[in-house]
Structure 1
Amino acid sequence: MFFRPAILLAAIAMVLFGLLSVVIAAPVPPVEDVKALGKTFQDLRAVNGHFDGGEFNEDVDAFNGKKHQTMQKLAKAFNKAGVLEATIETTMGRSDKIPAQVMKELKGTEPEMTINIYKYMVFKWRGYHDYLWFRVDDRTHKVVKGDWYHALE
């Protein structure tokens, strides 16, 4: 059987555009929901749970507690290439201070390159024991990658 290169390229392009439309159509929480999640996160962030020197608090310390679930939803909304750093900061507040050891671990996840173009945003769930992080391109101020860090004891 014989295919013309132009027809083959057109067929491949159609498949790729079809796949891309599925990715683009992935559900994103409505802006109002993200704002409400951000408010909830900031309220819970102000509570000192067990990992921040306070008493154990089910809402902020427990796996699948209110803070954990809120952060999971925010991670889903923001852990996409191209999300603006300012959008995360407006919603979740400023990044927690990043200790040297945590920064070393984050930099260890970077692709190899000769210049440093990344900065990081970290949001503690249970102190620096478990946290959500975003790698931001310092030139464009857009998310490149994000993920959870879990101590997994």
Structure 2
Amino acid sequence: MARTLEELGAKFRELRQKQGHFAGGEHSSDVDNYDGEMHRVMQELQKELGKPGTPATRIMEYMGMPDEKQTTRPEGAPATEVQMMPGPVVPEGAGSTTATHGPPLYLLYKWRGWRDYLWFEVDSEREVVIQSDWYHAYE
């Protein structure tokens, strides 16, 4: 049975308080394991909240404040420019209504410290999701 966003958000906030191995505590299968409860909950939240056009306030409503907010592209985030061949570098979304006018804001949520985290790229003017993905260190 699928969980609601309210249930997923509550579970995420509960698990976020646990100090697993990557936060300096004891190993916790719920928090630290690949495909553990925290990982699954974050994947489900990202599936719903990472859709382009989702208001950034909705992310924070369910996930709480991000572990970090930044205007620089985090590791694992694709470049905002696409090389056309042959020719100049063209900003992604040029001429579309999804193009941002200022630097995007990135909301980062840790899963296993800074080794593995979920990020949301947010249009800084419209305050809506542009894209979302994961960074994995694969160590």
Q: TM-score, normalised by structure 2?
A: 0.78
Structure 1 runs (4+) deviating above 2 angstroms are 97-100, 103-110
Deviation at 1:108, TM superposition (A): 6.2
Paired with 2:48 and 2:77, the residues of 1 have a C-alpha distance of 25
The aligned counterpart of 1:143 is 129
Paired with 1:129 and 1:63, the residues of 2 have a C-alpha distance of 12
The aligned counterpart of 2:96 is none
The aligned counterpart of 1:105 is 74
Encode CA deviations 1:19-58: one digit per residue, 9 max, x unaligned: xxxxxxxxxx7xx701110000000001111111111111
Residues 108 and 78 of structure 1, relative CA distance in 2, 3 Å threshold: closer
Counting only pairs closer than 5 Å after superposition, residues 66-77 of structure 1 correspond to structure 2 as 66-77=37-48
Instruction: Give 5+ residue unaligned stretches, structure 2.
Output: 82-90, 92-100
The answer as to 2:96 corresponding to 1:125 is: no
The aligned counterpart of 1:23 is none
Residues 80 and 99 of structure 1, relative CA distance in 2, 3 Å threshold: closer
Secondary structure at the counterpart of residue 80 of structure 1: coil
The aligned counterpart of 1:17 is none
Q: CA RMSD in A?
A: 2.4
The answer as to 2:121 corresponding to 1:152 is: no
Residues 111 and 99 of structure 1, relative CA distance in 2, 3 Å threshold: closer
Largest Rg, 1 or 2: 1
Richer in strand (by share):
2
Deviation at 1:152, TM superposition (A): 1.1
Paired with 1:75 and 1:104, the residues of 2 have a C-alpha distance of 18
Counting only pairs closer than 5 Å after superposition, residues 86-105 of structure 1 correspond to structure 2 as 86-97=57-68, 103=72, 105=74
Q: Write the letter of the residue equivalent to 2:41.
A: T
Deviation at 1:98, TM superposition (A): 5.3
How many residues were matched structurally? Answer: 121
Paired with 2:73 and 2:56, the residues of 1 have a C-alpha distance of 21
Instruction: Give 5+ residue unaligned stretches, structure 1.
Output: 1-28
Q: TM-score, normalised by structure 1?
A: 0.71
